Amino acid sequence: MSALKGVKVLELGTLIAGPFASRMLGEFGASVIKVETPHGPDGTGGGDPIRSWRHLHEGNSLWWTVQARNKQSIALNLKDPRGRDIARRLALDADVVVENYRPGVLEKWGLGYEQLREVNPALIMVRLSGYGQTGPLRDSPGFGAIAESMGGLRYVSGHPDRPPVRVGISIGDSIAALHAVIGALMALRHRDTTGGRWNGKQGADCVAGQGQMVDVALYESVFNLMESLVPEYDVAGVVRERTGGALPGIVPSNTYTTRDGQNVVIAGNGDAIFNRLMRAIGRDDLADDPQLARNDGRARRADEIDGAIQRWCDTRSIDQALEALRRADVPVGKIYSVADMFADPQFIARGMIEQHRFPDGTPVKLPAVVPRLSETPGGTRWLGPRLGEHTEDVLKTLGYDAAAIAELAEAGAIGIPPPA
């Protein structure tokens, strides 16, 4: 049994934020139909642009393998009224539509939320965009990098004497996707407590639940994670700045370098933990100093404490440092590369790296599905599909016969891949 079994999701979007949101819904059992642009007349182009990003296998991105797992791909030309009609029929049969077009695009195609809810009042539409569906910037193009900048994350990332840096992944898009999933699940809960999904008719014996629009702005999703940024500025006039690997005002919590050039994060900021840490590194004097018994006192002497810890790390290898601090029950961790993850006993014990195979038999490892649910766990049912791989199957569920499908393909309204 899957947590979202029976939930139908239509994905109208490309790249990261929207597709990541529907990916998570699909990982926990929702049926996800992803609409993609067909190949052009010359057989090139088409599909979600992420298919060609970073490293490829057999013409598709390895990223695509993860981002589109468990999804059905249907190739529709939404510039063709017949393609839009198919998308509309799919949307009206869906529980959730996830889209990340620029605001107004779906309305031009007759697929906007207000247009669809007139027919399906129980529909939930999750809309992801750079700046949301309202406001002076609603029509501006918005990418995750811009959201990270406007939402405050870039400003506080990096070292104080250098320009801001980006996190090494598309974190702004992914944060927005997580907010989208949360919003979708809350909206589904509300719909189900007010009547349930729409079955095509209304009446005394059939009351559709109340659907709604979930408006996710990328910059607001990032902003939502910025901890005490706002009240610190409002009440204390403090602008949080870049601080490198340290956590200002919470001491000690920093990144240190061991004798063999490895980076280790040590978080000894709890009062009892600080005491154990100082004794583990041979600094009983600091452990016994009453001025350092509480965090506020340690914050005033952060440089002194960090210096003591770094000098200890200078004389230890990464393995020696980890062993000594874990033995003292101090939170400590090496900064992992993906190679470290593949070899780590904790990753292995938790099954965090899944083994799969491409259709050609080539083995491929993927990250496991999280979070872990004890009774209805998620999983990978199949890898990211070929462009339009499920077009015919989906159209048949809508009542199209072989002749009608062939006619739509000939006219360029849909795309059907050649046999595998």
Domain residues for 307?
Answer: 253-257+263-334
Q: What is the pLDDT of residues 366-407, one digit of tens each?
A: 999 999 999 999 999 999 999 999 999 999 999 999 999 999
* CATH code of the domain containing 327: 3.30.1540.10
The answer, yes or no, to whether residue 205 has pLDDT greater than 60, is no
Residues 70 and 215 in one domain: yes
Residues 160 and 218 in one domain: yes
For the chain, the average pLDDT equals: 95
Residues 283 and 364 in one domain: no
* Cβ-contact 131, 142 below 8 angstroms: yes
pLDDT for 200 equals 72
Residues 156 and 96 in one domain: yes
- On whether residue 233 sits in a domain, the answer given is no
Domains held by the chain: number = 2
Instruction: Examine the fold and report which residue of 280, 302, 334 is the final residue of a domain before the chain moves on.
Output: 334
Residues 302 and 370 in one domain: no
* Cβ-contact 180, 91 below 8 angstroms: no
- On whether residue 231 sits in a domain, the answer given is no
The answer, yes or no, to whether residue 165 has pLDDT greater than 60, is yes
> d(Cα 23, Cα 17) in Å, to the nearest integer?
10
Instruction: Examine the fold and report which residue of 301, 334, 367 is the final residue of a domain before the chain moves on.
Output: 334
- On whether residue 346 sits in a domain, the answer given is no
Strand pairing class (96-99; 8-12): parallel
* Cβ-contact 280, 325 below 8 angstroms: yes
The answer, yes or no, to whether residue 323 has pLDDT greater than 90, is yes
Residues 364 and 304 in one domain: no
Write out the two tokens for 143: 């990418």
Residues 56 and 185 in one domain: yes
**Across residues 134-149, what is the average pLDDT?**
94
- On whether residue 340 sits in a domain, the answer given is no
- On whether residue 290 sits in a domain, the answer given is yes
Residues 277 and 154 in one domain: no
Q: What is the pLDDT of residues 348-369, one digit of tens each?
A: 999 999 999 999 999 999 999 9
- Is residue 173 annotated as a catalytic residue, yes or no? yes
**Across residues 153-170, what is the average pLDDT?**
94
- On whether residue 244 sits in a domain, the answer given is no
The residue annotated as part of the active site, out of 173, 288, 296, 314, is: 173
Residues 328 and 406 in one domain: no
pLDDT for 204 equals 46
Residues 98 and 169 in one domain: yes
The answer, yes or no, to whether residue 259 has pLDDT greater than 90, is yes
Residues 267 and 403 in one domain: no
- On whether residue 153 sits in a domain, the answer given is yes
Least confident of 18-22, 116-120, 275-279: 116-120
Strand pairing class (332-334; 263-267): antiparallel
The answer, yes or no, to whether residue 411 has pLDDT greater than 90, is yes
Tell me how far CA of residue 354 lies from CA of 55, 326, 336, 351, in angstroms.
19, 28, 18, 7
Question: What phi, psi does 268 have (nearest 5°)?
Answer: -110, 40
Instruction: Examine the fold and report which residue of 334, 361, 396 is the final residue of a domain before the chain moves on.
Output: 334
pLDDT for 49 equals 94
Strand pairing class (31-36; 71-76): parallel
Residue-wise DSSP of 299-345: HHTHHHHHHHHHHHHTTS-HHHHHHHHHHTT--EEE---HHHHHH-H
Query: What is residue 37's DSSP assignment?
Result: P
Q: What is the pLDDT of residues 25-63, one digit of tens each?
A: 999 999 999 999 999 887 778 899 999 999 999 888 999
* Cβ-contact 120, 111 below 8 angstroms: no
**Across residues 185-197, what is the average pLDDT?**
95
- On whether residue 285 sits in a domain, the answer given is yes
* CATH code of the domain containing 75: 3.40.50.10540
> d(Cα 416, Cα 154) in Å, to the nearest integer?
42
Residues 132 and 174 in one domain: yes
Long-range own/partner contacts, residues 323-327 (CB < 8 A, 24 or more apart): 324/280, 324/281, 325/266, 325/277, 325/280, 327/280
